[in-house]
Amino acid sequence: MTPTTYVDVTAVHPTKLRMLSCHASQRAWLRAHHGMDEYLDAVDRHDASRGAESGTSKAEAFVQHRGHAYPADDVVANLLSEPRP
């Protein structure tokens, strides 16, 4: 699916990786079962890929579900475009 909204996470990306590395049960499971915790590198690659698509260094991408009974307008994009206090 093609993303409908991108969020530039460049400024918070190092914090995001630090927080993910603290996910002890996930990290322990991956190390025990696969001998690695490559998920941190995967997140870095994924955020860089989405960043390249959106013209930033790092980004997250979202797709609004537009099925029956869901809003026709892009709620996430509207929320992100509103001025924040």
Predicted confidence (pLDDT) at residue 85 exceeds the cutoff of 50: no
Predicted confidence (pLDDT) at residue 82 exceeds the cutoff of 70: no
Choose among 44, 42, 55, 41: nearest CA to 8: 55
Q: What is the pLDDT of residues 21-70, one digit of tens each?
A: 888 888 888 888 888 778 888 999 999 999 999 999 999 998 887 777 77
| Token digits of residue 21 | 């590395």
Predicted confidence (pLDDT) at residue 81 exceeds the cutoff of 50: yes
73 vs 43, higher pLDDT: 43
Q: Which residues pair with 61 in a beta bridge?
A: 6
| Token digits of residue 6 | 């991108």
Q: Quick check: 14 and 20 in contact, CB under 8 A?
A: no
Predicted confidence (pLDDT) at residue 84 exceeds the cutoff of 60: no
Q: What is the pLDDT of residue 51?
A: 97
- End-to-end CA gap in the chain: 33
